Structure 1
């Protein structure tokens, strides 16, 4: 079953041109490649690289495409030009393998991209002239613009930079002509902003913001008078919105305990027009790094990348006039196994009275009586009710899988995602102990419980095993952090600049960072451990995996490291997934089943 699930293809929407042609990322060949979907539903593969494509955009008014791609998962994106009327050969456009380039926007005459080539740490916003190759700097004021949203008329760009603490955002408004910068939110503001969406006339934009409240509301900014106003507020849920180019409508996402339904609203007063008829119990936006909805230029339809625990990421086309929602699947796409199930939602009381949201996937195969706690990365991300082939594979193998949103997770309010910051780091690990104590209430044997997680989730696996050695039977750590100190010392410069605000600063917080590191308690760690890591990981270096496995091997603790030379922060290539994850299931079969 696991091989079948891992092999099911996924599709992500990237762009649509004036002819109604779509650009999508499709991984049916084993890596994510750019495909074009014609209006008649015909698919055409545009790239066939050994490595993963990350993004692509049409050049307006032409048959050219700009593609962002990296090498071996190193995340150092390079930009190439593809002429669709010629043999499909990528021509270098912006290439410097030593640095990271991020595609922002492509028009008829220019490409906007971000790059850290100036000093390796800060990212500048650059305009590349397609006719001459000349480049002009639009912003070089420092920081890492996590997103850049140009206005429809090309005059403005909104930059979202990391703020003073985790999950805080500073918005800057850049004048593309004068390069003047207006601070829309202060650097030290303790609020987050996401999903900037410009009004058609470039007079302002809509953004999701939790300024002065616990949840993300939709707020509107007016460029002329520099004022913010509330557009749509829901005190119980986070919201996100995307303005329709027709100037009359707004697509609104409501994040509700891991679900993300979409609805069409009027832009003028945010009144509900109609919910979208997407499949139930899934996510139409804002889940697991999926693309946001993409409007056609005339606003007649939107492309939505939808997924759920029983459906891989799939592009749906939503037509405003009729309300019709149609899946844009590649012909011959295999069906998903019918036995997949949606999870249950629970709340777990923790050590201080807080309630930890968890999803429980019951075994769909013969019940082994074992439990796997699957912890998401981030930490300020969230486990959503989305496509997790590994989780479904664990359930099919007979495990009960518990997927928590421990404190520090997003999508449950500002207060919740702030409860693990800096000196509160180990409180999130205490949430794992609370989940362990709660397992008998859902019929699970706590003596046969294992931890599984990637990235920050990998840190949580190692921390659980090290700080709670009597609780856990085994662990699977994927690209996880063994030492917060060595992680910050050895991660990419641009990553360190943003991650210190979450974990603490090497210059001032080293003692705490050492005390909160699993490696500081590695002599207490005795549960068998499997570690999976990419050799080219620019976020969590391979040295994190090597040092923890070396320490356990020296003490005779069963452990194994699977390192992949052509991967980065996680496994992107199907061949490597089919090698690593069956070994991980066999490891659990041996130690907790």
Structure 2
């Protein structure tokens, strides 16, 4: 186990809690409640991937059943899965089967450094690195419609931008088909291999879409002129003559549009009350799946394009339908379902027979699902009257006679979103008596472009006040211990956690998971392959060359002397986004000032923890810290 734990920490074990409901002066009536350890929660299997192979017999997924993510073959008839890779050090992230046989593509980095390479595993088990080289980052870009070629983007020529290569499916010989000379983002390819859709970041509110004709080697801006809007290319139509893209050009929320290549006409295709997250088609375009971000939930709209009718599946359990895929003959549809109380499970639906089959049971069978907690969407008023949404998880133990501590959980980004869905970390803390309020402070995505941009150049200020007012809201709940409210967050959420500890005296504890503490250094050291949106990032957060004074003012590292309450810091040594030195220096400054601080460092992780044993250790550390300083 490649893990370094600094500072002494004992870890929690499974226990049985007793809680009581009382009326007047009656003696509490003990009620048994099952409490589980972090290990038990993380013995739940995490899986992802829904690609169906060429003959419809199997689905390709990655699973952390062994503790490290590896590739597995799940037969569609419900037979036992077969492990396809056997990595013991680095996680395997599956991409897709080959169109005409059972070779498959996957991605892998080293220790969380995010320098992903694209690999192919042959039928005999031999593995070929398709993108070799040091400091190379690559990603899969799609298949040619006849399966003879596929496309991969790499930054091997220039680490600041990605070029596109076409690979032969038989011998993997390749040729460059697009040289990226203007730091553009590669979005999607037409299936006939003629059109490449790209986007160019103009500002943090404006992206232009370009089409590159690979055959004629011509690049054209196809965005409507003088339109300040965020655009993203999604997919092409069946005849490869139109591009479907998403944009917020007609209002607060992203809608789907069609660009007709022949005449340059733009058509609006949707008018949802929420953001369209994207759309996709089945192999023969018989079905269309559109995803909508509806108040922190994903709603999948599946339509038979031949009849125009919605596909309704009887017997679906509650949860979000995710990652829908189809077999080549469009007779089978695979997808995952995930909810607050159920980790992702893999399903296959026989469209001709209307028969639903569940292929996995991901939750640890030792856990009683009835003790898990669903969220409730709530809204509260912030300092300026703005309504702030969030997800509230109330522990089963909580009541007005048995008040519980609360952790305000802050998402990353800064433009991320706290969403419904299963989290072993979250359920472990809730199960052990800590309420969770997952706030969507201003600057979060999913609530319109005005809301999204309200925190621009106001980070650590207005968004932090939203978190302070979340505390004020929580203190109005009769089952909350109003003196025991803390913060927890990762990445940007880790930054706001430290900002809350340094710039306010509102919060009893803070758990900072690889959070930014020195904005000047972080913005100066962003990975080179982020160059395409560097300008947008600087416009939102600040340019370290010109905004150093403000960035220093909002960086917790330079205000550590104001921190007085306990803090836990957790970091991956290989993190390319928030460097280890950020956490090292923050911890050193707090120790110098006599603050109770704990530090957990994983030497084989990056920006997020892929190895199950490390996720268990981190969650044990969170609970032990909270039991010591909050509960």
| Equivalent residue in structure 2 for 1:94, among 125, 131, 139 | 131
Say if 2:482 is the partner of 1:446.
yes
Q: Deviations over 1:75-118 (max 9, x none)?
A: 1011222112x1x2322221113121112224544331222222
Q: CA deviation at 1:394?
A: 0.9
1:324 Cα deviation from its structure 2 partner: 4.3
Contact in 2 for aligned 1:195/1:242 (Cα 8 Å): no
- Of 430, 442, 464, the residue aligned with 1:429 is 464
Give the aligned partner of residue 39 of structure 2.
3
Q: Which of 255, 267, 275 is the matching residue for 1:229? A: 267
Contact 2:321 2:336 in 1 (8 A): yes
Q: Deviations over 1:396-423 (max 9, x none)?
A: 0101111111111111111111111124
Note the alpha carbon deviations across 1:336-394, whole angstroms, 9 max, x for none.
53211211211010011111101111113575621111111112121111111111111
Distance across 1 between alignment mates of 2:550 and 2:610 = 34
**Counterpart in 1 of 2:396?**
364
CA pair 407-275 structure 1, distance change in 2 beyond 3 A: farther
Partners in 1 of 2:97 and 2:318 — Cα distance?
33
CA contact (8 A) 1:163 1:189 kept: no
Q: Which moved more, 1:72-81 or 1:152-161?
A: 152-161
Asked if the contact 1:361–1:395 (Cα under 8 Å) also holds between the matched residues in 2, the reply is: yes
Q: Is 1:460 matched with 2:491?
A: no
**Are residues 1:343 and 2:375 paired?**
yes
Where in structure 2 are the equivalents of 1:312-351 lying within 5 Å?
Answer: 312-329=343-360, 334=365, 337-338=368-369, 339-351=371-383
**CA distance in 2: counterparts of 1:5 and 1:551, whole angstroms:** 34
Q: What does residue 23 of structure 1 align with?
A: 60
Distance 2:200 2:82 in 1: 36
Contact 1:264 1:276 in 2 (8 A): no
Contact 2:187–2:232 (CA<8 Å) still a contact in 1?
no
| 2:391 corresponds to 1:355 | no
The structure 2 residue matched to 1:44, chosen from 82, 106, 109, is 82
Which sections of structure 1, spanning at least 5 residues, go unmatched?
A: 286-291
Aligned residue runs from structure 1 range 145-544, under 5 A = 145=185, 148-165=187-204, 168-185=206-223, 190-194=228-232, 196-236=234-274, 238=276, 240-265=278-303, 267=305, 273-277=310-314, 279=316, 282-285=319-322, 292-329=323-360, 334=365, 337-338=368-369, 339-365=371-397, 369-423=404-458, 426-443=461-478, 444-468=480-504, 470-495=505-530, 497-498=533-534, 499-544=537-582
Give secondary structure in 1 for the equivalent of 2:158: coil
CA distance in 2, matches of 1:315, 1:31: 19
Q: Which runs of 5+ in 2 are unaligned?
A: 1-35
How far is 1:485 from its partner?
A: 0.7
Candidates 20, 31, 34, aligned match of 2:71: 34
1:39-118 alignment runs, 5 A limit: 39-42=76-79, 43-49=81-87, 50-84=89-123, 86=124, 88-106=125-143, 108-118=147-157
Q: How many residues of Structure 1 are paired with residues of Structure 2 in the alignment? A: 581
Deviates more, 1:272-281 or 1:563-572: 272-281
- Tell which structure's C-alpha radius of gyration is larger: 2
Mark the CA change 1:312 to 1:448 in structure 2 (over 3 Å): closer, same or farther.
same
Give the distance between the partners of 1:260 and 1:587, measured in 2 at CA. Answer: 33
Calculate the aligned-residue CA RMSD, in Å: 2.6
SS at match of 1:219: strand
| Structure 1 residue ranges, 4+ long, deviating more than 6 angstroms after superposition | 330-333
Distance 1:332 1:561 in 2: 30
CA apart distance, 1:13: 1.6
| Aligned-partner Cα distance in 2 for 1:248–1:205 | 18
* Larger RCO, structures 1/2 (Cα 8 Å, 6+ apart): 2
TM-superposed deviation, 1:477? 0.7
Q: Is the 8 A contact 2:255 2:276 kept in 1?
A: yes
Q: 1:485 to 1:192 in 2, by over 3 A?
A: same
